[in-house]
């Protein structure tokens, strides 16, 4: 009896007590294959793959996957939310001001960059999010 790899999407869902459905697997596959897609892009990909899916199902699925930590939601300003399956590591993002493209970056400062603000104003801080802004290679050429 072959031992299944832990990151098998089916096992992943089961481990979190979630039912296994075609839609969920398709959403997981889409997010995994092409990180930083928008909900709309994911909806299109899933529909292409399994024929039909409602927008609501996509949003619900993304929400429940996010809540269970299987995927991560990032929301740059002036852009719809984007999703990625790279979780459990402390990485950040660089966003193109022109086309909205997103890429992963690791911060050079360390594994927990800037987690210590000078004054925390009584806030209990649980996350530091770093967003780099600039122009992607394509948009530099287009100038």
- Answer with the entry of a second copy, DNA, none that 112 interacts with (C-beta below 5 to 8 A by kind): none
In this structure, how many other beta carbons lie within 10 angstroms of the beta carbon of residue 98?
Answer: 14
- Answer with the entry of DNA, a second copy, none that 47 interacts with (C-beta below 5 to 8 A by kind): none
Q: Residue 93 is encoded by which pair of tokens?
A: 């993002």
Q: Give the C-alpha separation, 9 to 81, whole Å.
A: 22
| Region binding DNA by CB under 7 A among candidate stretches 13-21, 89-97, 111-119, 123-131 | 13-21
Query: By the 8 A CB rule, do 74 and 100 touch?
Result: no
**Minimum CB distance to a second copy smaller for 10 or for 105:** 105
Query: By the 8 A CB rule, do 107 and 130 touch?
Result: yes
| Region binding DNA by CB under 7 A among candidate stretches 47-55, 87-95, 117-125, 131-139 | 47-55
Query: By the 8 A CB rule, do 133 and 97 touch?
Result: yes
Residues that bind a second copy (CB under 8 A): 75, 77-78, 81, 92, 94, 96, 103, 105-109, 113-114, 116-137, 140
């Amino acid at each position: 009896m072959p031992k299944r790899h832990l990151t098998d999407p089916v096992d992943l869902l089961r481990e979190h007590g979630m039912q296994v459905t075609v839609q969920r697997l398709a959403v997981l596959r889409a997010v995994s294959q092409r990180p930083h897609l928008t909900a709309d892009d994911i909806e299109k990909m899933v529909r292409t793959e399994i024929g039909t899916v409602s927008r609501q199902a996509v949003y619900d699925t993304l929400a429940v996957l996010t809540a269970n930590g299987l995927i991560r939601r990032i929301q740059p300003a002036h852009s719809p939310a984007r999703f990625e399956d790279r979780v459990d590591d402390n990485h950040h993002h660089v966003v193109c001001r022109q086309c909205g493209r997103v890429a992963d970056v690791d911060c050079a400062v360390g594994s927990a960059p800037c987690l210590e603000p000078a004054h925390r104003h009584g806030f209990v801080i649980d996350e530091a999010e770093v967003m780099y802004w600039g122009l992607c290679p394509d948009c530099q050429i287009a100038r």
